[in-house]
Amino acid sequence: MSTPAPRPTLASRRQMLGAGGALLLATFWPTPRQSRAQGASVPAGMAPEQGLLVENAQGAFAPNAYIRIATDNRITLILPNVEMGQGIYTSSVMLIAEELGIDMAQVEIEAAPPGGGAEITGGSTSVMTEWLPLRQAGAAARSMLVQAAATHWQVPVAECTTRSATIIHVPTGRSLPFGAVAAQAATLPVPQKTTLKDPATYTLLGRPQHRIDSAVKVQGHAIFGMDVQVPGQKIGTVAACPVVGGTLAGMNKAAALAIRGVQAVLVNTTNTTVCVVADHYWAARKGLRALKPQWHDGPNAHVTTQTIYDQLHDGLNGPAIVANTKGDAPAVIAHAAATHTATYQQPLLAHATMEPINCTAHVRPDGCDIWTGTQIADRARDTAIELTGLPKDKVHVHCQYIGGGFGRRLEHEYVTQCVEFARQVPYPLKIIWSREEDLTHDRYRPAYVDQMTAALDSKGFITALTHRIVGPAVVARWDPPELTKDGYDEDLSVATVITPYTYPAYRLEFARREAPGVVTAWWRGVGGTRGLFVVEGFIDELAHRAGADPVAYRRAMLAQNPRALAVLDKAAQAAGWNTPLPPGRARGVAVQFAFGSYMASIAEVEMPEPDNVIIHRVTAVVDCGRVLNPDQVISQIEGGLIFGFSAALYNEITLEGGRVQQSNFNTWRVMRMNEAPCKIDVLLMPSTEDPGGIGEVGTAAAAPVLANAMAAAQGRRYRTLPLLSPRNGADHKEQG
Amino acid sequence: MRNPMSFPFISTCVQGTRVKFSRVGGVLSGVVLGGAALLATTAHAHAAASAPSVENGRYLARAADCEVCHTAEGGTPYAGGRAFSLPGVGVMYAPNITPDKTAGIGAWTDQQFVDAVRKGISPHWKHLYPAMPYPAYARMSDAEVRDIRAYLATLPPSAQKTPENSVKFPFSIRGLMVFWNMLNGPAASYADDPDKPAEWNRGRYLVEGPGHCADCHSPRTRTFGLDNSRALGGNVVNGWRAYNLTSDKQSGLGAWSDEALAQYLSTGHADGHGTAAGDMADVIGHSLRYLSAPDIHAMVVYLRSIAPLHTAEDTVDARTPAAGDASLPQSTRGARLYASACAGCHMPDGTGRQSSFGTITGARSLGADNGRNLVQLLVQGSGMQTTTGVQIMPHFAGGGLSERDLADIASFVMTHFTTATPHNMEQAVHDARQAE
Amino acid sequence: MLSLNINGQSHQVDVDPDTPLLWVLRDVLGMNATKFGCGIAQCGACTVHMDGRAVRACNLPVGLIGEQHISTLEGLNPADPVTKAVQDAWVALDVVQCGYCQPGQIMAAIALLRAVPHPTDEQIDSAMSANLCRCGTYVRIRAAIHHAAGALA
């Protein structure tokens, strides 16, 4: 297995992509928010000088993934999606190897430099978007290679087959490695139509394959952004004003420069951040301590956590955008014999990726190179272009392994920051944020308040449902064109409008309240994570109110949805839902449809005291369409659940005087091995549907399934996150 | 982290009972004897008439730990601003003692400085509050105090203004301090006790003079003076237990070896006794670690001569837990939390994982006084300057660990490492959080 | 100049004695397998071995190391039975996700298995809970340690 670690290099995009004489096949997959990127054209510098750049997609497109088959038989897959743990390198290699007729071990991976579109890895979309184009690309390349070989041997194409990157003429047993005909193949027209393999003949897809990045990661050879070593680099560490919007008031520059190893003290142009540069991180850190920057706190100095919650609760009344409507839900509720209302609250959350934020940049008069882990390489490049004024082809982003994304690296402000400071020095500058900087200057998952009201029939089932979400519209900052005309962020529809359930009448309202003093952003599971906690908690409340079993109540609501019903039934069976529990234990359930996948989950908990939760077992049944790599789907669900449990139980960013109060893992608690569920059983439903997303599915389920189990254990609702917040004890003693 | 409002000498004003009138005369008469015998034993002695010694001043400024109190949290050294919050009294701020002519003490005469340090009277007869340990500093000679002045004069001047004190009536009447001084007031230099060895006399001077150990380690009288009947018998200062320094074997220093005591004073750690934390970590980091080996030895000699006084609050019996990372039981929440939050530095058996500063075995704080200092450490954390950097114990309050979680950790630590029986730990954590 | 014994080799480094070993490894010696995660010994990403004991390099000042032997992930002998069993188990069970914490996890697991060749779940939890993983690979780490223990039997 070759090392897929992208190495820092000053090679230009052209050099990186177009090896002389190689077959270079470009493919394109639409990224989730790129559907509007009309009229994108092949970016400058993309046409390879030798070899072939081929479109396999229709019409205008921006190529951003490539297969390169070099004359020395090296096969490289150049991917825009970055590996941040979700296993995308492995599944991408599986897709291409399956159709190309090669062994997985024969493929090397490179991280693609930014292309012409919005290159993002997020929203659990990687497999969904790669599923078709990568197979088509593999099939097209194979067909061209076989054609080239057949022409060489003067035999019919039909007599040729491929195995392990070799074309074989079956009747004579002659063979040629792919590399031997790559140059010839590159001169052939790309087939307009490719025939994909019959899934029944798959040898790789659908069978568990080991991750291709395991070996380098367990040996410590994988290069993360943090590990980049560029000759001559210096290390910087930064302090931004602890209050968003504040500016630098003073500092002791001489004291910092007096620290051994400190090279420079830099201030950014907006006067919001200082950077101490040194020979190594420790000297920089000591320098920053000696620098003792003082700050004008600015307009957000008064912000507290309560400021934010108060404005969210305030948004429950007054005007709101109607985001989705069916029938006249308010009228049904107004005339209903029975209604049920509940208010849910969720906190600001930090990402706290294991790899603290870092970026390396070398800005020269004639070019700029950036090495970093990013889920959004295009923006990383564009910010550098904007700052340096360099032309596009002089700015290179070298994507590295990501030590945890979770949405944090969909932001690129740390790249902007690094380039700003790197411009001021002649050497390559690696900026490393301390963990304290990383946690106090994160871009946080927003806090939300939701209120739902249901009209109920005589059996306690929903006849109408209204739902008001109060919170920010992340997309308004992150991708303004995606905000709807009336100001709605469609991400909020996940797990709210888009659910496995159908309601006779429905109305979703959104009252936008941007949190002062913090920047809010995407976080693993995005709309699904925030929406599912509310909706599945509320459904559970209604089941209890109806005196119904929570599984049976949901089953009745899912009659029209066989995939959802199937995962629920299987989960109930696997978890022994109807079997007696050991004394002191309770179960909770959640059902979801998000990111294109269905899942039902059941948690079994014990609460020896009201504030002590032991998660004994979680059972999850997933229908994510066709499963490419079953064991990695299981791994993502296991990890996603634990990530979600950690936040659900422990996490809340709080502010005092505009300053974030949590600073490191002493105060930002992360679930540990001895708190993680003793047993997580993940079962996969066989399916021939197109693959759904998986990276965020488990995280979305975590809070609701745990809250529902805790509610069953304690006989009271848990409507506020984190679940052990005193608010749950104070406000929600009633069962519903 | 450390509470910026916290300060070791707060109790100077809030506790205590009795007085030694023998000292008063010196104050009222304004006569401060130079104490001819005082420095007979010190290596830093110099002729009173000669020019002040900056070097000696630096040494004494450290011995007297001036910097800690006269520096705001994270602020410029000696530029003042550290707040002293005295419940029921108000908030006062340590002044800027850099040589700045207006914000600092640059315009003071030497005599004015000496009066402030030794008598608690600053220029224009403004009486200082006894957060400033001038009764102890009076053990220093005028010449020594002038040396300190000479050292302070070498510091870069800081224009940082000291915030106005907000002291409630009747404490706002500085003149009342005259009466306090009559009761508790400045002592004078001692004469050497010729029956005692030179090192004992030197040790007494360091402990009772510049070191002002009793300001924390002695109980207080009602008028906030030192209770000399129980001198160095331990005290609660700012929520922390300042332990019994008498020679009682169980509750004091009686069971410590000379070597361990010297090591503790000079480095902040001694195996079998743990690591200094809280205010004592500041005392080590900014003061004691700079003292010469003979001076540390002298302090040890003197401390060991203090008559034993038993105090229940400073008594705890250690247990020896199993060693090895795999040895922590996982059956209680406290043990699980210890494995995740504590064992990374302290190992299951209390041995320092990275360095000896993490070795906590035998420390009083693991159980004494119902885990008072343990709880303070969990809530506030601690940091100590050493020759190998700041040794940090992070705090664990205010985030994902609830007060209940911290109480569980404390209970586990107390029962795992000592024979103590924890009681009402959640309340103890809650109180420590409130006091922050 | 300080002399450090790292992976069997003597290194002379010109840094202040308060410099944590982590930054000497990473920024002075260019050995990157040991990761920076928190700087306060709360996450374990920087776990190395000091005389065979799993220690956190992020708050180990080099001035305190003296003659003690340091070994890091990249310096382990891949043929060593425990090292091999652990690394093989990690690959066989596909433990890693993002992989950033795994060097620390593996160093902790190797130290555990050297001390306790056949640990129970409780012993694994005791020894491994000081190592954080944000991707949530704990279930597999536990399984992989059992797997490695079995392979060493």
CATH number at residue C7: 3.10.20.30
Cα–Cα distance, A570 to B209 (Å, whole number): 78
The answer to whether B13 is annotated as binding is: no
Q: Which residues of B touch C127 (CB under 8 A)?
A: 325-326
* Same domain, residue pair C69 and C94: no
Q: Which of A204-213, B171-180, B302-311 has the lowest mean pLDDT?
A: B171-180
Sign of CA dihedral A218, A222, A225, A231: positive
Confidence bin at A22 (pLDDT 50/70/90):
low
DSSP conformation class of B339: I
Q: Is it the case that residue B30 has pLDDT exceeding 60?
A: no
* Same domain, residue pair C71 and C90: no
Confidence bin at B393 (pLDDT 50/70/90):
very high
CB pairs A-C closer than 8 Å: 191
**Chain B interface, Cβ < 8 Å to A:** 74-76, 330, 333, 336, 339-341, 381, 394-402, 404
pLDDT tens-place string over residues B128-144: 666 788 889 999 999 99
Chain A touched by C104 (CB under 8 Å): no
Residue B224: predicted pLDDT: 66
* C15 neighbors C62 (Cβ within 8 angstroms): yes
Strand pairing class (A234-240; A429-432): parallel
Distance from CA of A619 to the nearest CA of C (A): 14
Which structural domain range is residue B107 located in? 10-184
* Same domain, residue pair C66 and C90: no
Nearest residue on chain B to A290, alpha-carbon basis: B74
Confidence bin at B172 (pLDDT 50/70/90):
low
**Domain count along chain B:** 3
* Same domain, residue pair C16 and C58: yes
Q: Is it the case that residue A47 has pLDDT exceeding 60?
A: no
Mean pLDDT across B430-436: 92
Q: Which of A557-571, B70-84, B400-414 has the lowest mean pLDDT?
A: B70-84
Q: Is it the case that residue A2 has pLDDT exceeding 70?
A: no
Residue B292: predicted pLDDT: 98
Mean pLDDT across A70-86: 82
Max mean pLDDT range (A70-84, A179-193, A299-313): A299-313
Confidence bin at C27 (pLDDT 50/70/90):
very high
* Same domain, residue pair C85 and C101: yes
Cα–Cα distance, B59 to B159 (Å, whole number): 25
B399: its two tokens: 């985030």
Distance from CA of B342 to the nearest CA of C (A): 8
* Same domain, residue pair C133 and C94: yes
* Same domain, residue pair B50 and B146: yes
Sequence-separated (6 or more) residues with CB below 8 Å from residue B195: none
The predicted model scores a pTM of 0.91
Q: Is it the case that residue A52 has pLDDT exceeding 80?
A: no
Cβ <8 Å between C41 and B353: yes
Sequence-separated (6 or more) residues with CB below 8 Å from residue C5: C11, C67, C68, C69, C70
* A611 neighbors A640 (Cβ within 8 angstroms): no
Cα–Cα distance, A58 to B139 (Å, whole number): 92
Is B3 part of any domain?
A: no
* A75 neighbors A67 (Cβ within 8 angstroms): yes
A590 three-class SS: strand
* Candidates A664, A674, A724; nearest CB to B339: A674
Which structural domain range is residue C98 located in? 81-152
* A83 neighbors A127 (Cβ within 8 angstroms): no
Residue in this structure with the two tokens 């439903």, named with its chain if needed: A685
* Same domain, residue pair C138 and C88: yes
CATH number at residue B244: 1.10.760
Residue B184: predicted pLDDT: 64
**Domain count along chain C:** 2
Sign of CA dihedral B69, B75, B77, B80: negative
Q: Of the candidates B418, B393, B358, B421, which has an alpha carbon nearest to the alpha carbon of residue B278? A: B393
Report the half-sphere exposure of C35 (CA within 13 A, side-chain side).
Answer: 38
Residue after which a domain boundary falls, among C41, C75, C109: C75
Q: What's the topology of domain A225-298+357-432?
A: Aldehyde Oxidoreductase; domain 4 (3.30.365)
CATH number at residue C99: 1.10.150.120
* Same domain, residue pair C91 and C145: yes
Mean pLDDT across C55-81: 97
Mean pLDDT across A602-619: 95
* Same domain, residue pair B26 and B54: yes
Confidence bin at A130 (pLDDT 50/70/90):
confident
Distance from CA of A231 to the nearest CA of C (A): 11
pLDDT tens-place string over residues A150-194: 999 999 999 999 999 999 999 999 999 998 998 888 888 878 778
Cβ <8 Å between B354 and C55: yes
* Same domain, residue pair B44 and B178: yes
Sign of CA dihedral C106, C112, C116, C120: negative
* Same domain, residue pair B219 and B168: no
* Same domain, residue pair B219 and B245: yes
Residue in this structure with the two tokens 């701020």, named with its chain if needed: B93
Chain A touched by C61 (CB under 8 Å): no
Residue A110: predicted pLDDT: 80
The answer to whether B213 is annotated as binding is: yes
Sequence-separated (6 or more) residues with CB below 8 Å from residue B144: B39, B56, B60
Q: Is it the case that residue A131 has pLDDT exceeding 90?
A: no
pLDDT tens-place string over residues B270-292: 999 999 999 999 999 999 999 99
Residue B229: predicted pLDDT: 84
Q: What is the mean pLDDT of chain A?
A: 88
Cβ <8 Å between A215 and C91: yes
**What CATH number matches the domain at A13-219, 2.40.37.10, 3.40.50.2300, 3.30.365.10, 3.40.50.720?**
3.30.365.10
Residue B171: predicted pLDDT: 65
Residue A56: predicted pLDDT: 32
* B407 neighbors B429 (Cβ within 8 angstroms): yes
Q: At CA A678, angle to CA A722 and CA A584, rounded to 5? A: 70
* A134 neighbors A88 (Cβ within 8 angstroms): no
* A428 neighbors A233 (Cβ within 8 angstroms): yes
Q: What is the mean pLDDT of chain B?
A: 85
Q: Which of A214-218, A724-728, B90-94 has the lowest mean pLDDT?
A: A724-728
Mean pLDDT across A637-665: 97
* Same domain, residue pair B40 and B180: yes
Q: Which of A3-17, A666-680, C15-29 has the lowest mean pLDDT?
A: A3-17
Q: Is it the case that residue A42 has pLDDT exceeding 90?
A: no
* A711 neighbors A542 (Cβ within 8 angstroms): no
Residue A627: predicted pLDDT: 92
Mean pLDDT across B378-391: 95
* Same domain, residue pair B286 and B346: no
Higher pLDDT, B78 or A115: B78
Q: Which residues of C touch B381 (CB under 8 A)?
A: none
Mean pLDDT across A689-708: 94
Residue after which a domain boundary falls, among C19, C42, C75: C75
User: How much is the ipTM here?
Assistant: 0.98
Residue B223: predicted pLDDT: 66
* Same domain, residue pair C14 and C44: yes
Residue B90: predicted pLDDT: 78
Confidence bin at A24 (pLDDT 50/70/90):
low
Residue A38: predicted pLDDT: 26
Distance from CA of A612 to the nearest CA of C (A): 18
Residue A30: predicted pLDDT: 37
* Same domain, residue pair C58 and C25: yes
Residue in this structure with the two tokens 């008469």, named with its chain if needed: B29
Confidence bin at B125 (pLDDT 50/70/90):
low
Residue after which a domain boundary falls, among B275, B292, B314: B314
pLDDT tens-place string over residues A366-384: 999 999 999 888 899 999 9
Cα–Cα distance, B250 to B316 (Å, whole number): 8
Cβ count near B70 (within 10 Å):
26
Cβ <8 Å between B400 and A667: yes
Residue A129: predicted pLDDT: 67
CATH number at residue B355: 1.10.760.10
Residue A63: predicted pLDDT: 42
Bridge partners (DSSP) of residue A359 are A431
* Same domain, residue pair B149 and B283: no
Distance from CA of C32 to the nearest CA of A (A): 6
Q: Given a contact as 3+ CB pairs under 8 Å, which chains touch A?
A: B, C
* Same domain, residue pair C94 and C68: no
* Same domain, residue pair C70 and C86: no
Q: Given a contact as 3+ CB pairs under 8 Å, which chains touch C?
A: A, B
SS (H, E, C) chain B: CCCCCCCCCHHHCCCCCCCCHHHHHHHHHCCCCCCCCHHHHCCCCCCCCCCCCHHHHHHHHHHCCHHHHCECCCCCCCCECCEEEECCCEEEECCCCCCCCCCCCCCCCHHHHHHHHHHCEEHHHEECCCCCCHHHHCCCCHHHHHHHHHHHCCCCCCCCCCCCCEECCCCCCHHHHHHHHHHHCCCCCCCCCCCCCHHHHHHHHHHHCCCCCHHHHCCECCCCCECHHHCCCCEEECCEEECCCCCCCCCCCCCCCHHHHHHHHHHCEECCCEECCHHHHHHHHHCHHHCCHHHHHHHHHHHCCCCCCCCHHHCCCECCCCCCHHHCCCCCHHHHHHHHHHHHHHCCCCCCCCCHHHCCCCCHHHCHHHHHHHHHHHHHCEEEEECCEEEEECCCCCCCCCHHHHHHHHHHHHHHHECCCCCCHHHHHHHHHHHC
Residue after which a domain boundary falls, among C49, C75, C101: C75
Cα–Cα distance, A152 to A407 (Å, whole number): 49
Cα–Cα distance, B165 to B168 (Å, whole number): 9
Q: Which residues of C touch B341 (CB under 8 A)?
A: 42, 130
Backbone dihedral region of A525: left (phi > 0), alpha (psi from -120 to 50 degrees) or beta? left
Percent of chain B with pLDDT over 70: 81
Cα–Cα distance, A351 to A446 (Å, whole number): 12
Q: Is it the case that residue B1 has pLDDT exceeding 50?
A: no
Residue in this structure with the two tokens 């310096």, named with its chain if needed: C75
Is A305-348+444-731 a CATH 3.40.50.620 domain?
A: no
